[in-house]
Amino acid sequence: MAGRFITLEGIDGAGKSSHSSFIADRIMARGFEVITTREPGGTALGEKLRSIVLNEKMHGDTETLLMFASRTEQLADVILPALANGVWVLCDRFTDSTFAYQCGGRGLSESRIATMETWVHGHLQPDLTLLFDAPLEVARERLNSGTNAPDKFEREQGEFFSDVRAAYLKRAAQFPHRIKLIDSARTLENIRTELGFLIDSL
């Protein structure tokens, strides 16, 4: 049986990454093997592209192409082989991020990104996308309390993130069966009860 493909999404500071190990444990508790990975990144070349795209100033089209370049590597080397072997894949960000950040945030055309999506993974969509959503002030406060120096995206201003968030919410409305909205302003216990339920129902 093929593995399941789960993606985590949300604006910077929405708290998605802190739930990754809980979700992986829950999958393993069901008796499945799981790998966790991230985008951009996840392969040796992808991690190099990540450090360029998160730090260098560049044209929005270049940014989008590099996101899809990293994704192409990751699909070929990691995601598709794992799924074919019955291994579940938990990926921190995927193409919904490109629609939210490059289309919503940077204003690139949606149809252009959709064309690249079809080109790179027309045959594959996540089985489940967990979209962590929090008000901008909550996300900003979480980001500010982090210890790492902010990257290019994290240094963007409120208006950018409100556009990214709006694009995410639009996608959730467009694909309600795949994208589950997780209100991450709730207690940890409350969030994990919901995550456990969603994972167990896959």
**Which positions lie near ligand TMP, rule CB under 6 A?**
12, 38-40, 54, 67, 92-93, 97-98, 101-102, 153
**Which residue in this structure is represented by tokens 């949606």?**
110
Kindly state the smallest distance separating residue 2's Cβ from ligand TMP, in Å. Answer: 23
Q: How far is the CB of 186 from ligand TMP (least distance, A)?
A: 20
Q: How far is the CB of 134 from ligand TMP (least distance, A)?
A: 14
Can you tell me whether residue 192 is helix, strand or coil?
Answer: helix
CA-nearest of 94, 93, 108, 95 to 163 is 108
Shorter beta-carbon distance to ligand TMP: residue 30 or 155: 155
Residue among 62, 144, 51 at smallest CA distance from 106: 62
Of 26 and 38, the one with the shorter C-beta distance to ligand TMP is 38
Say whether 202 sits in a helix, a strand or coil: coil
Q: Which is nearer to ligand TMP, 70 or 88 (CB)?
A: 70
Smallest gap from residue 129 Cβ to ligand TMP (A): 13
Shortest CB 98 distance to ligand TMP, Å:
4
Nearer to ligand TMP, 55 or 193 (CB): 55
Q: Which is nearer to ligand TMP, 67 or 172 (CB)?
A: 67
CB of 195 closer than 8 Å to CB of 22: yes
Between vectors from CA 88 to CA 87 and to CA 93, what angle results, nearest 5°? 135
> Which run of H or E residues covers position 191?
helix 188-200
